[in-house]
């Protein structure tokens, strides 16, 4: 049976996916990436013939010269070979032997927070695809999906397992009927799929069983069960990647993690928690002094903003890397308008910059970090972990305090702690403690842990776990959670 696509019309989802028009501005680079991913992940199967250069260029919306350059690059990678003469053309030559090595080298570029976010995004896509497929199962050809679900059982080598697993997930996405969703799945598989398959023998049977259960739910038309199974399967796979990423940060020569007793580790964790809260409180005091000085001197709004921002910038410089940002939100009823003077470090402690917020869209009255109404001696309020969608767009914890001058509320001070930095800071201290030990906020969200798969999870009040309150913050150390 010929695999050649020749100049025939593009009809299958695979060709639609691989050869769809490019949207990126740098199409020269993107065309090669698109075709490489399609080959590495089995969308374009080994031995299949590519359409003619003129047809491909027209289909993908690039010049023939750009297309030829991309094919030359693929030939250099050993992914395409060109045959001359009758029956010649460009043919796919799948070569995935180095994929795992190359991808593992790039794992260090991801933070645990990046991988946690990717885990949830992948789970959302897989769950949505499985549910959509179940809802239209009567129109699907289940044989191909069922075959791809079990193909992984025969895989002995990582490269084979990568391709078999990725093919199933791409087939699953394609069963949703959405080319755009399928394209997202291809991109994610190319990015993190290989990291799951360091040792296929340890994982292939579990993966095949998961795949089979998902297909069974789709065949039965059970959208809710199909979504649940797909989400759980993806999260388990991504947890393997998160576990692996955590090991990259561990070195065998760190004396604290090798020799410290459990009591020493807990004491160090308590001291670090107090240091985080103390750093935030110190930063807010610095900003508060500037606020009171500006009000006392009766300076104009623009001068007050400049002076307060200067104080915030100095406080961030002193508080980094524990502190992510600090500043002041002015109360409209006092100043005549609401405005914000805030300095934060989105590119790292060495690069502080001003935070710009559209105050017309920012609803401070319902912000998770708004402190309770208090008098002159307002205590420091500590929020739970939340995504600051109207500000930094990061997952942070904010410590805040009301500023009251002569009995009048004039605004709120705040200091942000970046949750990913909490993980980085606490994790070395958590290592000597029992596996699955976590630090959680007042809602049970895990802020730091010594077990990768716990990143981004929760510990509920009903969980049977030994708990110890940490000083200065409403956080709890949960030892050896199940």
Largest CA distance in the chain: 92
In a domain, 259, yes or no: no
Looking at the structure, do residues 117 and 33 belong to the same domain, yes or no? no
Number of neighbouring beta carbons within 10 Å of residue 61: 14
CB 284 within 8 A of CB 326: yes
**Which CATH number fits the domain that encloses residue 289?**
3.30.450.20
CB 24 within 8 A of CB 30: yes
Looking at the structure, do residues 111 and 244 belong to the same domain, yes or no? yes
**Which CATH number fits the domain that encloses residue 231?**
1.20.120.530
Nearest C-alpha neighbor of 89 from the set 12, 11, 6, 9 = 6
Looking at the structure, do residues 187 and 286 belong to the same domain, yes or no? no
Residue-level pLDDT at 350 = 84
The last residue of one of the domains, among 249, 272, 291, is 249
Residue-level pLDDT at 41 = 64
Rounded to the nearest 10 degrees, the angle between the axes of helix 112-135 and helix 419-430 is 110
Nearest C-alpha neighbor of 148 from the set 102, 92, 212 = 212
In a domain, 161, yes or no: yes
Looking at the structure, do residues 216 and 279 belong to the same domain, yes or no? no
Looking at the structure, do residues 223 and 270 belong to the same domain, yes or no? no
Looking at the structure, do residues 124 and 61 belong to the same domain, yes or no? no
Residue-level pLDDT at 14 = 62
The last residue of one of the domains, among 420, 440, 475, is 420
The last residue of one of the domains, among 41, 75, 96, is 96
Residue 132: which residues within 8 A CB-CB, separation 6 or more?
Answer: 175, 176, 177, 178, 223
User: Consecutive 10-residue runs of the chain (482 residues): their mean pLDDT?
Assistant: 41 60 61 77 77 86 87 85 81 64 65 88 95 89 85 81 86 90 84 73 87 95 96 92 78 43 86 95 97 93 94 95 95 89 91 88 82 75 92 93 92 95 92 93 95 89 89 93 74
Residue-level pLDDT at 214 = 96
Looking at the structure, do residues 167 and 275 belong to the same domain, yes or no? no
Q: What are the phi and psi torsion angles at 215 (to 5°)?
A: -65, -40
Number of domains in the chain: 3
Looking at the structure, do residues 58 and 24 belong to the same domain, yes or no? yes
In a domain, 457, yes or no: no
8-state DSSP, 175: T
Exposure b/e, 127-136, CB count within 10 A at least 16 = b:
bbbbbbbbbe
Is pTM beyond 0.85 here?
Answer: no
Q: Under DSSP, is residue 435 helix (H, G, I), strand (E, B) or coil?
A: coil
In a domain, 1, yes or no: no
Residue-level pLDDT at 1 = 37
From CA 283, how far away is CA 324, in angstroms rounded? 11
Looking at the structure, do residues 60 and 152 belong to the same domain, yes or no? no
Residue 465: which residues within 8 A CB-CB, separation 6 or more?
Answer: 459, 478, 479, 480, 481, 482
Looking at the structure, do residues 367 and 324 belong to the same domain, yes or no? yes
Residue-level pLDDT at 10 = 40
Looking at the structure, do residues 268 and 388 belong to the same domain, yes or no? yes
Looking at the structure, do residues 278 and 144 belong to the same domain, yes or no? no
Query: Which domain, by its residues, includes 66?
Result: 13-96
Nearest C-alpha neighbor of 470 from the set 298, 231, 314, 272 = 272
């Amino acid at each position: 049976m010929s695999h050649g696509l020749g100049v025939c019309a593009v009809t299958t989802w695979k060709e639609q996916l691989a050869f769809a028009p490019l949207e990126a501005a740098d199409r020269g680079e993107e065309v090669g990436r698109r075709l490489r991913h399609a080959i590495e992940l089995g969308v374009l199967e080994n031995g299949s013939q590519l359409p003619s250069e003129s047809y491909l260029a027209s289909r993908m919306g690039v010049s023939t010269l750009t297309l030829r350059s991309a094919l030359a690059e693929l030939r250099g990678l050993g992914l395409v070979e060109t045959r001359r003469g009758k029956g010649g053309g460009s043919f796919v030559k799948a070569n995935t032997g180095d994929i795992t090595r190359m991808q593992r080298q790039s794992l260090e570029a991801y933070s645990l927070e990046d991988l946690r976010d990717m885990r949830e995004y992948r789970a959302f896509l897989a769950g949505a695809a499985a549910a959509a497929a179940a809802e239209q199962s009567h129109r699907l050809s289940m044989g191909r999906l069922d075959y791809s679900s079990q193909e992984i059982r025969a895989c002995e080598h990582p490269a084979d397992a990568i391709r078999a697993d990725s093919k199933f997930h791409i087939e699953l996405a394609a069963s949703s009927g959405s080319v755009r969703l399928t394209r997202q799945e291809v991109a994610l598989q190319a990015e993190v799929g290989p990291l799951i398959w360091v040792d296929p023998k340890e994982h292939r049977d579990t993966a095949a069983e998961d795949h089979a259960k998902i297909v069974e739910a789709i065949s039965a038309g059970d959208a809710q069960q199909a979504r649940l199974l797909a989400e759980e399967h993806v999260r388990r796979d991504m947890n393997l990647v998160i576990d692996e990423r955590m090991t990259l940060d561990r070195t065998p020569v760190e004396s604290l993690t090798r020799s410290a007793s459990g009591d020493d580790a807990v004491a160090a964790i308590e001291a670090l928690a107090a240091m985080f809260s103390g750093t935030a409180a110190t930063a807010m005091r610095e900003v508060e002094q500037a606020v009171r000085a500006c009000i006392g001197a009766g300076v104009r709004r623009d001068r007050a903003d400049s002076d307060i921002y200067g104080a915030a910038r100095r406080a961030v410089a002193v508080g980094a890397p524990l502190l992510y940002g600090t500043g002041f939100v002015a109360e409209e009823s006092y100043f005549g308008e609401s405005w914000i003077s805030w300095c934060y470090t989105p590119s790292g402690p060495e690069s502080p910059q001003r935070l710009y917020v559209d105050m017309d869209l920012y609803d401070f009255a319902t912000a998770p970090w708004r402190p309770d109404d208090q008098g002159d001696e307002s205590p420091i309020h500590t929020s739970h972990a939340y995504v600051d969608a109207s500000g930094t767009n990061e997952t942070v914890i904010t410590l805040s305090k009301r500023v009251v001058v002569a009995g009048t509320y004039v605004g709120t001070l705040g200091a942000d702690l970046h949750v990913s930095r909490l993980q980085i800071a606490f994790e070395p201290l958590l290592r000597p403690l029992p596996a699955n030990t976590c630090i959680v906020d007042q809602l049970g969200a895990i802020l730091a842990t010594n077990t990768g798969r716990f990143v981004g999870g929760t510990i509920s009040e009903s969980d049977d776990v030994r708990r110890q309150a940490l000083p200065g913050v409403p956080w709890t150390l949960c030892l050896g959670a199940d």
